[in-house]
Amino acid sequence: MANMSLTKVKISEQDPAVRNHNFLEVSLGYTAEEAMEEASRCLGCKNEPCRGGCPVAVSIPQFIAQVKEGNFAEAYRILSGDNALPAVCGRVCPQETQCESKCVRGIKGEPVAIGRLERFVADWARENGITNEVKIEKNGDKVAVVGSGPAGLTCAGELAKMGYDVTIFEALHTAGGVLSYGIPEFRLPKEIVRKEIEGLQKMGVDVETNMVIGKVLSIDELFERGYKAVFVGSGAGLPQFMKIPGEGLCGVYSANEYLTRINLMKAYTEGAPTPLLHSKSVAVVGGGNVAMDAARCAKRMGADKVYIVYRRGEEELPARKEEVHHAKEEGIIFELLTAPLSIEGDEKGRVNKMKCIRMELGEPDASGRRRPVPVEGSEFDMEVDTVIMAIGTSPNPLIRSTTPGLEANKKGCLVTKEDASTTREGIFCGGDAATGAATVILAMGAGKHAAKSIDEYIKSKK
């Protein structure tokens, strides 16, 4: 008998007033009892609408049915067969626009908490030392994966399962891409990322860090080294600035730099050798998940006041609802319909204020969103000592500029066909490098899709 409660089983979270002073995970996850209770809200629909909403098509009703019965190991077997990084996805996917948006229970009441259940199963398996043993028959062919973010990790995992010898080349000293340098510890503990990558290594995936492809080796040299195909999953890591006066001042960061210092270089830990400016009052410019992450980090680093400065309104915030909610609970101040004009500094070149202007929403623009228009005479000063730019990123030009014949569009994204192939034979691309900045799960979906195409390509050459 299904549990007909209209609401999800509540999940425990750290108290907002406590958690905004630490980097420990905010959401504490379901207990086994809570997970089984929530799982029994699933009706096990035959046509599986939820599955259609998942970019990697996880067998959702099947794994939830096992959770309901308390067969967590079997649930993990099903789940990890479809998804290479379930502990990550359960935490960072925007389920409200994906799987859970298609759940029939969501028509009247809240949908089944698929993300929380996915996370529970993955965490349970990790804590109980359960790994998904897959039998791999090696086929002797080598494939190179450039970048160890969600797209590269997924593509590598899928190819390894098919029997390929996969090498991932990562430019930084730690694998994981945005999972390691971008998303903060309090949303995604780095230990979990490390374990998920270890899982791939156990399947035989070789991860080589400190390898900047395009500098130390070109893609053409990878082919010379015997790789039959190359997957480019190098992301969109090039930060954008606003091109307003004062962006060279001391105290202005890109969100990438701010988050890299904190997450990858652990600037939040006592005695860490990588410094970060101590801020009292911080403006984060932007309204996406990256802006929320940067703002919540700034609060945890001890800032008294942290503002989100966004030129559109609450409805238009691109960040996940849950993250906006968490940010508000933690005391982040939202300055909506506001745009920066310039940043000013003191005699030492340190930021002391940001000049802003209020906006109102006009007619819809090409993207279909109402265009913000400045309100004349509404300029004002915001007293801040730190400004973090979180207005987006674009693909790094390194790969395309060092690989002859690899075409990119105006935004710097590699041009790909339906099957993820690029304009160069044997080179495939997916994730943010092909689409521009998007989500973790879309990158994973692209990695999975590209693995299939790479397999077909290599087989077709025999």
Partner 1 sequence: MSFKIVKKQPLNPEITLMSIEAPLIAAKAKAGQFIILRVDEQGERIPLTVAETDKDAGTVTIIYQKVGATTMQLDTLNEGESLHDFVGPLGTPTHIEGLKKVAVVGGGLGCAIAYPIAKALHEQGAEVHLIAGFRTKDLIILEDMMKNASTHLYLCTDDGSFGFSGFVTDQLKELIEAGNQYDEVFAIGPLPMMKFVCRLTKQHDIKTTVSMNPIMVDGTGMCGGCRVTVGGEMKFACVDGPDFDGHQVDFDEIIARNASYKEFEAQQKAHFCNLRGEIHG
- Sole binder of partner 1 in the list 31, 97, 210, 409 (CB under 8 A): 210
30, 11 contact by CB (below 8 A): yes
Contact stretch for partner 1 (CB under 8 A) within 191-199, 207-215, 290-298, 414-422: 207-215
- Sole binder of partner 1 in the list 274, 342, 378, 409 (CB under 8 A): 274
- Sole binder of partner 1 in the list 17, 32, 136, 216 (CB under 8 A): 216
CB closer to partner 1, 108 vs 243: 243
- Sole binder of partner 1 in the list 11, 217, 341, 415 (CB under 8 A): 217
Based on the shown chain and the rule CB under 8 A, indicate whether residue 244 belongs to the binding site for partner 1.
no
In whole angstroms, what is the distance from residue 99 CA to residue 101 CA? 6
Based on the shown chain and the rule CB under 8 A, indicate whether residue 302 belongs to the binding site for partner 1.
no
Q: In Å, how far from its chain's centre is CA 378?
A: 36
CB closer to partner 1, 195 vs 328: 195
CB closer to partner 1, 278 vs 459: 278
| Smallest separation, CB 177 to partner 1 (Å) | 10
Write the DSSP string, 418-431. TTSB-SSTTEEE-T
* Size of site (CB under 8 A) for partner 1: 41
Nearest to 389 by CA among 252, 295, 289, 293: 252
Based on the shown chain and the rule CB under 8 A, indicate whether residue 277 belongs to the binding site for partner 1.
yes
Q: In Å, how far from its chain's centre is CA 124?
A: 22
Based on the shown chain and the rule CB under 8 A, indicate whether residue 342 belongs to the binding site for partner 1.
no
Facing residues of 355 across strands?
A: 342, 381
Cα distances (Å, whole numbers) of residue 328 to 29, 54, 182 = 21, 28, 20
- Give the footprint of partner 1 on residues 380-399 (CB under 8 A): 396-398
CB closer to partner 1, 87 vs 205: 205
In whole angstroms, what is the distance from residue 315 CA to residue 369 CA? 10
- Joined together, the tokens standing for residue 375 give 């309100």
Contact stretch for partner 1 (CB under 8 A) within 154-162, 344-352, 368-376, 412-420: 344-352
CB closer to partner 1, 179 vs 317: 179
Cα distance between the two ends of the chain: 53
CB closer to partner 1, 13 vs 220: 220
- Sole binder of partner 1 in the list 208, 360, 379, 425 (CB under 8 A): 208
Within 162-265, residue ranges assigned H as helices are: 178-181, 190-202, 219-224, 255-259
CB closer to partner 1, 279 vs 422: 279
35, 67 contact by CB (below 8 A): yes
In whole angstroms, what is the distance from residue 223 CA to residue 30 CA? 47
Type of residue found at 14: Q
Contact stretch for partner 1 (CB under 8 A) within 7-15, 29-37, 249-257, 421-429: 249-257
- Sole binder of partner 1 in the list 275, 366, 418, 462 (CB under 8 A): 275
Cα distances (Å, whole numbers) of residue 436 to 95, 96, 157, 418, 429 = 20, 21, 23, 16, 12
Based on the shown chain and the rule CB under 8 A, indicate whether residue 349 belongs to the binding site for partner 1.
yes
Cα distances (Å, whole numbers) of residue 454 to 144, 255, 429 = 11, 34, 10
| Smallest separation, CB 242 to partner 1 (Å) | 10
In whole angstroms, what is the distance from residue 414 CA to residue 124 CA? 39
CB closer to partner 1, 28 vs 250: 250
Binding region for partner 1 (CB under 8 A): 171-173, 208-212, 215-217, 237-239, 241, 243, 247-251, 253-254, 256-257, 260-261, 265-266, 271-275, 277, 348-350, 396-398
